[in-house]
Amino acid sequence: MTRRPRGLVSRFLLAQLLVVAASLLAAVVVASLAGPAIFHEHLIMAGHPENSPELLHVEQAYRDTNLITLGVALGTALVVSTWCSRRIRGPLERLTEAAQGMAHGRYDTRVPAMGAGAEVEALASSFNTMAARLRSTEDTRRRMLSDLAHEMRTPIAVLTVYCEALQDGVTHWDETTSELMSEQLARLTRLVDDINDVSRAEEGRIDLDRTEQPVGELLRSAVEAHREGYAAKGVALELDVDESAGTVDVDRQRMGQVLGNLLTNALRHTPLGGKVILRAARQGPGQIAIHVADTGDGISAEHLSHVFERFYRGDTARDRDHGGSGIGLTISRALVEAHGGSLTATSPGPGHGAVFTIQLPPPQLADLPPAREAH
């Protein structure tokens, strides 16, 4: 039979009792050995004759009083120790029950204030913070899996239908079928690559090949790569680079990916006749700010804090009707933060456009790890 381990409360009570027992033992030894001799000497000095009945009665009263005092002290110490142990046992049991609930997936479990001391209250507060973060992470995971399944369902369904049609002879392999199936396969591949990129970036597993790049050249390359797409939609694309912008220490390919995502997002949400401006300027001591400003759909205030979340659907920046995988902005922010910078979004409101701002540190600070936000 396995012996059940002793609980913390039992250990605490036993420790208190051992301390009390040691104290009482010391008191008994002193009172029993040294006390009577000292008391007897003082009675003789007070004029009581040796071996007189009065002397014997007084000494016996001293001994009885010592025994009664020690017995009452022992009983009181036992009662107080038991009460203190129970005061600690209750909060610890509630913390244990809450932890067991968390282990079974009940992430809404919380521990109330228990009035058991600053240390226990700090432990309860830390537990509640951990529970809230775990619940947020679990909600994000569930939403991400649901949205990922939704994103994959359409191309998979199209591929399934065409494969069955080809097998049944309903349709034949031609250029149109080839283009459609290639497009759906490319969509699935892009989605998988995007998920892999953002996961690696957020976990710090992306290797950056950093070199000093002129800001103007970096932005001009991004503009030239997207000029044809903008012209086809009838949206003006302008470049405005401050001469003092200088250089940045970045991975040229990854930063080109970020700028490409932002320019594609801006084009997607800017109507015919609109305008997108890509500008860069020096901010502060060596810091570079790159802005992608459009005159498109805009973002409402309540959705601004969510635009970088994976597959977020609450605002036009993540509307599937506009196309896209719904994860480009998430990847962009993760990559910018991997460079030690930040990516933010602002908008006056729906219909008034939006501005996405990349802030990069000067080259000598680019290797420092980015500050982490509290969630």
- Nearest CA to 265 out of 320, 328, 359 is that of 328
The residue among 241, 186, 254, 197 whose CA lies nearest residue 215 is 241
| pLDDT for the residue numbered 273 | 93
Domain 124-202 has CATH 1.10.287.130: yes
- Assess contact for 35 and 66: CB atoms under 8 A: yes
Q: Do strands 354-360 and 342-346 pair parallel, antiparallel, or not at all (unpaired)?
A: antiparallel
Q: Which of 182-186, 245-249, 288-292, 326-330 is predicted least confidently?
A: 326-330
For the stretch 98-157, pLDDT in tens is 777 777 777 777 777 766 667 667 777 887 888 887 787 777 677 667 767 777 887 888
Tell the residue number behind the tokens 């992470």, with chain if given: 137
> Residue 364 burial by CB count (10 A; 0-12/13-18/19+): exposed, middle or buried?
exposed
Q: What is the pLDDT of residues 324-368, one digit of tens each?
A: 456 788 888 888 988 899 999 999 988 889 999 999 987 765 444
Question: Mean per-residue pLDDT for 301-313?
Answer: 76
Residue 47: partners with Cβ closer than 8 Å, 6 or more residues away: none
Fold observed for domain 212-365: Heat Shock Protein 90 (3.30.565)
Cβ(223)–Cβ(278) under 8 Å? Answer: yes
N residues, the chain: 375
CA distances from 5 to 16, 31, 101 (A): 19, 38, 22
Q: Which residue ranges make up each domain of the chain?
A: 8-106, 124-202, 212-365
Query: Over the chain, what HEC string results?
Result: CCCCCCCHHHHHHHHHHHHHHHHHHHHHHHHHHHHHHHHHHHHHHCCCCCCCHHHHHHHHHHHHHHHHHHHHHHHHHHHHHHHHHHHHHHHHHHHHHHHHHHHCCCCCCCCCCCCCCHHHHHHHHHHHHHHHHHHHHHHHHHHHHHHHHHHHHHHHHHHHHHHHHHHHCCCCCCHHHHHHHHHHHHHHHHHHHHHHHHHHHHCCCCCCCEEEEEHHHHHHHHHHHHHHHHHHHCCEEEEEECHHHCEEEEEHHHHHHHHHHHHHHHHHCCCCCCEEEEEEEEECCCEEEEEEEECCCCCCHHHHHHCCCCCCCCCHHHCHHHCCCCCHHHHHHHHHHHCCCEEEEECCCCCCCEEEEEEECCHHHCCCCCCCCCC
Of residues 292, 324, 291, 331, the one with CA closest to residue 308: 331
Between residues 267 and 74, which one has the greater pLDDT? 267
pLDDT digits (tens, 9 = 90+) for 152-164: 887 888 888 888 8
CB 226 within 8 A of CB 257: no
Per the DSSP assignment, residues forming a β-bridge with 253 are: none
Half-sphere exposure of 291 (CA within 13 A, CB side): 18
How many other CB atoms sit within 10 Å of the CB of residue 30?
12
Q: Is the pLDDT of residue 23 over 60?
A: yes
Each residue's pLDDT tens digit, 194-223:
777 777 766 667 778 899 999 999 999 999
